[in-house]
Amino acid sequence: MPLIPLRPLLEAVDKYHYAQGAFNVNAVAQAKAAIEVHEMFRSAAILQGADLANGFMGGRTDFQNATLEDKKIGARNIANAVKKYAENSPIPIVLHLDHGKNFDSCKAAIEGGYTSVMIDGSSLPFDENVELTREVVKYAHARGVSVEGELGVLAGVEDHVFSATSTYTNPLSAVEFFKKTGVDALAISYGTMHGASKGKNVKLRKEIAIAIKECMMHEGIFGVLVSHGSSTVPRYIVDEINALGGNIQNAYGISIGELKAAIPCGIGKINVDTDIRLAVTRNMKEFFYQHPEKRNSPSIGGVYKLLEEKKDQFDPRAFLPPIMDTVMYGNIPDEDVAALVAVIEKGVKEAIGTLIVEFGSYGKAPLVEQVSLEEMAERYKKM
């Protein structure tokens, strides 16, 4: 079925009181695997491409330096892949831009085929954040595309998103932000962190989410709260990477118990990236350990070399440049690449499948209304 905007999925989450995991993908194989595992659990799916992930999918292996043109190419590539696997899928699927850096990045994603975008103005003063977000909402809603904003600053590092300290979201400011911008969802800062080093035994400030939702209910405002930086960083996967020669230190995530406790408090969308990166990297390391003859393969030997050179990294993008044609377009030139892609897909499914169950979205796909972008644009006009 065609991709849908985020709004109908948010409405289902809000009505039926569960949370939807939103999972970042950086390759065609990852998008395919993410859709397949959601189908298996009969869950709707939110696939996310971060702003710089679009640069990577546009062929820019040094994606930190990706240009707008790189991002435009990458947005089309990831959207084409997701649409291909969504075409005959029985579940609703959203393609969402994670951490859009500016208006142009959001516009590029929408033009490329994204059905939802996040504009991250959290580092700006409140009024400037409102102005930027409102500009994106006006452009996106006219095209039926949903919008997520952000208020409050998360500590940690993820792509170009970096802050040494966090600033908790002010509930009253959050309500004002919804009123002034018309966003469909809002990422809040309530104790989560970007990256793999969130600290041990993190306790989320769930009272922040409760206060925001209570105020929104009194004001009659619709909106879903989003938990960024919410990877659980499974300890067993970190240990397995290190046992295979990796060097991942001080990696601690948000406990599943804490995340599940936040769902009844108003958190309806939970972003996860690091868990997938770890599982995919572990699987690639394990593959070359179990098949040493593949280390000198003409097609994938370069991946093994990078895995060995960069033992303290776990982002698959650090290791995949030797097979960029496969990353960007899904082309499988030989059996070696096919074997490596298979273990990448298994890693994605392992990380995502667990969280579909934990967050409660399994079996909920039929609850999400199928709405086209054209239909959504008409609805936005009346809101």
Q: Give the per-residue pLDDT at 94.
A: 98
77-97 pLDDT, tens per residue? 999 999 999 999 999 999 999
In 47-164, which residue ranges form alpha helices assigned H by DSSP? 51-57, 68-86, 103-112, 126-141
Q: What is the per-residue pLDDT for 192?
A: 79
Helix then strand then coil, % of the chain, to nearest 5 = 55, 15, 35
Q: Measured at the alpha carbon of residue 204, what is the angle toward residues 213 and 181, in degrees to the nearest 5?
A: 35
Distances (CA, A) of 82 to 1, 89, 371: 11, 10, 17
- Report, as ranges of residue numbers, the positions in the chain whose pLDDT lies below 70: 154-166, 194-201
What pLDDT, on a 0 to 100 scale, did the predictor assign at position 166? 58
The predicted pLDDT at position 108 comes to 93
Cβ atoms of 276 and 347 within 8 Å: the answer is yes
d(CA 63, CA 363): 36
Percent of the chain clearing pLDDT 90 (strictly above): 87
* C-alpha of 110 from chain center: 16
User: Which residues form the catalytic set?
Assistant: 98
Give the whole-angstrom CA distance, residue 30 versus residue 40: 15
Report the pLDDT value the prediction gives residue 155, as an integer from 0 to 100.
53
